[in-house]
Every structure is written in C-alpha cells, then in structure tokens.
C-alpha cells in the first residue's frame, strides 16, 4: 500500500471508492473501528459535495507523521463554483437542515485538523487530517 | 540478576530515538568539533594511567555519603558499575563519538536509572569526574598550561554531551511510567453492566474528560448491540460536576443510543447538580432523568414491561 | 444496484446494501412508495445493517423515505445502525429526529407487531 493515492471523483461510485481506499490506507495505523468510520464519513461528505456541486474533482489520500504519531491526510479538491461565504458554510444549521447543506462543520468535527480554501469561481480545496491518539 | 539489568538497559536504549541528525545538532550546539576530538584522543594514554585511581576515588566519594552509599550496597552491583565506569571513563578519550557511542551512554544512564539513583547524584558524579581529571591534566601539562585548559574545555564539552543523554534516559523513564499509568487508567473500564435482559447499567465515577466520554460512548454502543439492550440507565451519582461540556457528551451518547433503538435514562442527578444545570442553562431536552439510581432502574424495568413483585413472606424458605 | 424489498405479511422490509449510492437510495424510495400502496402495507422496516457510512446526504434521503411512508399512512422503522455509524452520525449532528429506530430486524418486527409506538418519545 503506497503512502499516497489520488481518487478521481465524478460519480457516486467514486465516493465509495475513496472511502474504501482510505480505510485500506489507514488500516496499519492505530485507529479504532469508530475512528475509521469517522474518517470514511468525513471523506463521504466532501466527496459528495464534489459530485453534487462541482461535478468533478479529486481526493488525495496521504499517510503523514509528526514525530512518532502517524495520521492520514485527505485533500479534496475541485474546480467547481466555489463557496461565496465560507464562514456561513462553516456555521452549524446552515449545513445540516437545508437541502443545499455542505456538511462542512460536521466534517470538521469528525477530523482533528480541518482547513478550507474556496472562492467564487475558483473551486474549493478542503484539507483534513486525523491523527492516531 | 545482573543480566536482567543489562537486558532492560538494552531495551531502554532502543526506546530512545537519537538520530544522526540529532547527534550532529547537539555537537554543533556544544561547539564540539574535530579539534576537540583530537585533543581528547591525545590524552588517551594519560587516561589509561589514571583510570583505576580516578574510579577508586570516585566510588570512595560516593560511598562516603549515606544517600549514594545505599545504591551500591550489593557488592555485585558495585563491581559491575565500577567496571562500567572504568570503560566509560576510558571511552571519553577514545574518539569516534558516533551513534554507537551515544547508545552506550544511554545504556549507562538507563542502568543508573533502573537502580533509582537520583539524577542529582548522577550529575554529581560528572562533577567529580571533571574535577578529578582537571587536577591530573594540570599535573600532566605543567609545561603547557594552555593545552591543559583547552583539553579540559574539550572534555567539558563531551561530558555535557553525555549529560544531555543521561538526562534523556531519566526523562524517558519518567515519561514511560506516566504513559503506562495513563494507559492503566484508561483501561480501567467504566463497566457496562447487563442488569436485566434488555437493560444496561452504566455507573460513571469521577471526572469525565472528552477522551473518556468518547470511549464510554463507543463501549456503550457496542454493548447495546451485543446485549440487545433497549434500555440504558446511566448513573451519574458519582460524577463530580456536570458542566455544559459533560452535558454535551451525555446528549451525544443518548442520541447515538437512540439510533440503535435504545432509550436512555440518566439517573443520579443530585440536587446540587440539578441546581448547577439550571444555573448554567443546561437543558437535556427530552432525555429522561431521575434523581436516584433506584428510580432509574425501576423506571427502566417499567418501560421494558417488567413487573416486579415481592413474595408475601419476604423471606426465602429454607429446609 | 437494486434495492432488495421483501414482503412479510403487512410489513415491507427494505435492505440497504453497503455500496448503495444516493441514486440507488432514491430509487429504493420510489419502489417502496409503489409497494406500500400496492400491498397496503402498514409497516416498513429500512434495514441499514450493511451501511458502513451514513453521511448527511444519505441521512437526508433516508429522512425523505420515512416521511413519505408516513404520509402514506404506514409506520417506518430504521434498523441496524451499527455502533461506529451511530457514533459518527451524532458527531456529524445527524440524529434522525422523528424517525423510529430499533436495533435490528428482529426488534423492528417486534416493535411493529407490539403495542403502539410512541414516535416522538426519546
């Protein structure tokens, strides 16, 4: 299993693939079953966003380490319409109930590190990392 | 017994990670360079001549103090460390201060840590060394005192390099103990007890931090599945304080349990905790709560359809 | 991937496969609606035991399914949410509020056959 992988995201089936690849990649690390599901769920959220709003993009998976701790880093990137107001998108309530929900604050809660760069017309890049405890 | 110490020290040295990069960095910081190495190797012969005497003086010094004497009571231990010290002493002037050298130093530090020699005593030993060698250097370089001084400074640099590693082994040992204790505490399970068919009791005691709360929730959810529980009574009688963070954890746990078809009753809310929650504006929403554990269990039994009756005599018949 | 819907008396059992996409779920919803009407089912069990991840998209679709079934006069119960999935869901803030839940198929069937279910009591 290589330490870095890119999954192209265009259709729903790709979301599943990205999740599976992430689980495989994270397997040798010290993650509990719950943590693996958290990672897969966060990936599902951002990947579905790509499919729904950007039409195409990619998910890059990479194993990282900081000192003795290891982790998995997920970078979800697309050239879609971008998010006009990131602050609002990161607010709870805006995301979960409305049909346009992006599930971003939720993804942030699931992972340890979360970063988002986006602008109207410039696409979106979400970087998330989960570390071993 | 001696072998066990050796093995433990070896494993110890393996646990501490010093890279080439780290070693180079430390040498640079101490300004320990090639000229220093040259000066030290130049006095190797001198060191050989004085090694035994220095070591004897050294241990005489140690044994003359009550707190250090106690560590070397066992003659086997004393002889072993004396031998190790002599080797150590000679190694100081043999050059080649590479990773193998460092491994050695770490082993020695570990050996002293294992017999619980306090770090202050260990550092005191280095102090003795430097002074003992200084005296002999002055003596040997009577004609070229500058050289004595430069050599002494080189020795000091190397000794400080060693002290750095010695301290590392002590700190690592402490950290390992702390980590082991933390793991032991983590592993103390919050019991999830099946008290009736379909009912789980979770008595929580002490402080709930985020990690413990997470583990508890994961454990409970797993138990709901394996016990096919429909009711869970979480007893917080033993929880010291319930602030909004703890309340949040409770709410999340209840919601997750519900997703698995189990209802939760929070029991053991004392008047004080109730007061705090009202003051802090903590609202557990529609989560069922009761004041004491007994009520919690009875309520759960009711909801599960149990009817508890007491037999009329109230005593079990014997004979 | 076709959804599998089985009929057991007046109850329909819809099993969600692990690899179902959102489109598949939507298709299952449409089939369920037709089946509920055709068989005049009074109960529907949506079994998500095989679902490894429930994200907000899936939760929304699931919500849609249960709401539609309710409008058709039948009771729906979601069963089989696994511990890890339940944990992730609450972290994400997906509580499926207003949806009936049970541990698994057995429990779900028992619930449907038993006394009236309180929909909104936690």
Query: What SS3 state is found at B86?
Result: helix
Arithmetic mean of pLDDT, B226-235: 96
- Residues 6+ positions from B289 with CB-CB distance below 8 Å: B265, B266, B267, B269
The shortest CB-CB distance from B252 to any of C90, C104, C122 is to C90
Which regions of A1-133 does DSSP assign to beta strands (E)? 4-9, 57-66, 69-78, 113-119, 123-131
Domain borders along chain A are 4-131
Q: What is the pLDDT of residues A118-129, one digit of tens each?
A: 988 889 999 999
Does the pLDDT at position C11 exceed 70? yes
Does the pLDDT at position C122 exceed 50? no
| H helices, E strands: number in chain A | 4, 5
Chain A residues near residue C55 by CB distance under 8 angstroms? 41, 44-45, 48, 103
| Nearest Cα residue in chain B from A32 | B218
Residue reference for tokens 């590190």: A113
Cβ atoms within 10 Å, residue B259 = 26
Chain B residues near residue C63 by CB distance under 8 angstroms? none
- Provide, rounded to the nearest whole percent, the portion of chain C with pLDDT above 70: 91
Mean pLDDT in chain A? 88
Residues in C 63-122 with any Cβ partner in B closer than 8 A: 79, 81-87, 89-91, 95-96, 101-104, 107-108, 120-122
pLDDT of residue B5: 43
Nearest to B158 by CA among B108, B206, B92, B65: B92
Alpha-carbon gap, residue B167 to B173, rounded angstroms: 10
Q: What is the pLDDT of residues B11-60, one digit of tens each?
A: 444 456 688 888 999 999 999 999 999 999 999 999 999 899 988 988 88
Alpha-carbon gap, residue B139 to B149, rounded angstroms: 12
Inspect the interface and report whether the beta carbons of B218 and A133 lie closer than 8 Å: no
Reduce the secondary structure of B201-222 to three states and give it as a string. Answer: EEEEEECCCHHHHHHHHHHHHH
The shortest CB-CB distance from C87 to any of B217, B230, B288 is to B217
Does the pLDDT at position B205 exceed 80? no
Confidence of residue B8 (pLDDT cuts 50, 70, 90): very low
Helices (H), ranges, chain B: 2-15, 20-30, 34-42, 44-63, 66-69, 75-91, 99-114, 119-140, 145-187, 210-227, 244-259, 271-280, 293-304
**Is the model more confident about B206 or about C14?**
C14
Alpha-carbon gap, residue C26 to C24, rounded angstroms: 5
Which chains sit next to B, with 3 or more Cβ pairs under 8 A? A, C
Q: Alpha-carbon dihedral of residues A70, A75, A76, A79, nearest 10 degrees?
A: 180
Query: What SS3 state is found at B304?
Result: helix
Fold topology of A4-131: Heat Shock Protein 90 (3.30.565)
- Out of A20-34, A89-103, B180-194, least confident range: A89-103
Beta carbons of B234 and B226 less than 8 angstroms apart: no
The shortest CB-CB distance from A19 to any of C53, C91, C93 is to C53
Which chains sit next to A, with 3 or more Cβ pairs under 8 A? B, C
CA A98 remoteness from chain centre: 20
- Residues 6+ positions from B65 with CB-CB distance below 8 Å: none
Does the pLDDT at position C12 exceed 70? yes
Inspect the interface and report whether the beta carbons of B221 and C86 lie closer than 8 Å: yes
Alpha-carbon gap, residue B178 to B119, rounded angstroms: 18
Inspect the interface and report whether the beta carbons of B224 and C87 lie closer than 8 Å: no
- Paired tokens of B103: 């491994």
Does the pLDDT at position A98 exceed 70? no
Inspect the interface and report whether the beta carbons of B224 and C82 lie closer than 8 Å: no
- From the options 1.10.490.10, 1.10.357.10, 1.10.4080.10, 2.30.40.10, give the CATH code of B2-186: 1.10.490.10
Beta carbons of B230 and B291 less than 8 angstroms apart: no
Does the pLDDT at position C116 exceed 60? no
- DSSP lists the bridge partners of residue A4 as A62
Does the pLDDT at position A41 exceed 80? yes
Chain C residues near residue B255 by CB distance under 8 angstroms? 90, 95
How many Å lie between the alpha carbon of B63 and the closest alpha carbon of chain A? 41
Query: What SS3 state is found at B70?
Result: helix
The shortest CB-CB distance from C79 to any of B228, B261, B288 is to B261
The hierarchical CATH code for the domain B193-304 is 3.30.750.24
pLDDT of residue B2: 43
pLDDT of residue A97: 43
Alpha-carbon gap, residue B14 to B18, rounded angstroms: 9
Q: Where in chain B is the domain with CATH 1.10.490.10?
A: 2-186
Q: What is the pLDDT of residues B135-190, one digit of tens each?
A: 899 989 999 999 999 999 999 999 999 999 888 888 888 888 888 887 776 667 67
Fold topology of C4-111: Transcription Regulator spoIIAA (3.30.750)
| Contact status of B218 with chain A (Cβ, < 8 Å) | yes
Q: What is the pLDDT of residues B95-139, one digit of tens each?
A: 999 998 998 888 878 877 887 888 888 888 888 888 988 989 998
């Amino acid at each position: 299993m290589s330490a870095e992988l890119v999954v192209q995201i265009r259709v729903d089936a790709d979301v599943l693939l990205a999740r599976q690849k992430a689980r495989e990649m994270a397997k040798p690390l010290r993650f509990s079953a719950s943590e693996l599901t958290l990672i897969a769920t966060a990936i599902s959220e951002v990947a579905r966003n790509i499919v729904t709003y950007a039409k195409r993009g990619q998910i890059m998976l990479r194993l990282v380490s900081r000192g003795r701790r290891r982790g998995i880093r997920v970078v979800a990137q697309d050239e879609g319409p971008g998010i006009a107001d990131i602050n609002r998108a990161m607010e709870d309530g805006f995301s979960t109930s409305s049909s346009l929900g992006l599930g971003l604050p939720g993804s942030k809660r699931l992972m340890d590190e979360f970063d988002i760069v986006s602008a109207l017309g410039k696409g979106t890049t979400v970087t998330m990392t989960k570390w071993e405890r | 017994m001696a072998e066990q110490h050796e093995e433990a020290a070896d494993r110890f040295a393996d646990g501490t990670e010093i890279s080439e990069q780290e070693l180079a960095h430390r040498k640079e910081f101490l300004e320990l360079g090639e000229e220093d190495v040259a000066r030290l190797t130049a006095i190797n012969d001198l060191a050989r001549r004085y090694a035994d005497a220095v070591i004897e003086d050294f241990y005489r010094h140690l044994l003359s103090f009550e707190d250090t004497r106690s560590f070397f009571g066992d003659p086997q231990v004393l002889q072993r460390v004396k031998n190790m010290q002599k080797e150590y002493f000679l190694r100081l002037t043999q050059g080649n201060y590479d990773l193998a050298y460092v491994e050695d130093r770490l082993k020695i530090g570990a050996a002293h840590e294992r017999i619980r020699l306090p770090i202050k005593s260990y550092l005191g030993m280095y102090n003795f060394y430097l002074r003992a060698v200084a005296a002999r250097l002055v003596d040997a370089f009577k004609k070229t005192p500058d050289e004595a001084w430069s050599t002494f400074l080189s020795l000091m640099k190397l000794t400080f390099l060693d002290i750095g590693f010695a301290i590392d082994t002590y700190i690592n040992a402490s950290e390992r103990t702390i980590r082991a204790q933390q793991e032991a505490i983590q592993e103390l399970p919050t019991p999830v007890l099946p008290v009736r068919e379909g009912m789980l009791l979770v008595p929580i005691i002490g402080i709930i931090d985020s990690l413990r709360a997470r583990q508890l929730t994961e454990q409970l959810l797993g138990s709901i599945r394996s016990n096919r529980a429909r009711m869970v009574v979480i007893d917080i009688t033993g929880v010291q304080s319930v602030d909004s963070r703890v309340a949040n954890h409770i709410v999340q746990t209840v919601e997750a349990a519900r997703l698995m078809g189990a209802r939760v009753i929070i029991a053991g809310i004392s008047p004080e905790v109730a007061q705090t929650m009202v003051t802090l504006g903590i609202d557990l929403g529609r989560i069922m709560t009761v004041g004491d554990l007994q009520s919690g269990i009875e309520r759960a039994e009711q909801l599960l359809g149990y009817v508890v009756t007491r037999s009329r005599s109230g005593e079990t018949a014997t004979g | 991937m076709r959804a599998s819907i089985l009929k057991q008396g007046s109850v329909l059992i819809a099993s969600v496969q692990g690899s179902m996409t959102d489109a598949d779920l939507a298709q299952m919803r449409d089939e369920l609606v037709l089946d509920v009407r055709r068989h005049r089912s009074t109960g529907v069990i949506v079994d998500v035991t095989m679902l490894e991840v429930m994200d907000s998209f899936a939760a929304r679709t699931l919500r849609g399914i249960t709401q539609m079934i309710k409008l058709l006069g039948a009771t729906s119960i979601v069963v089989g949410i696994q511990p890890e999935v339940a944990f992730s869901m609450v972290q994400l803030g997906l509580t499926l509020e207003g949806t009936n839940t049970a541990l698994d198929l057995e429990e779900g069937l028992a619930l449907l056959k038993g006394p009236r279910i309180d929909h909104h009591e936690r």
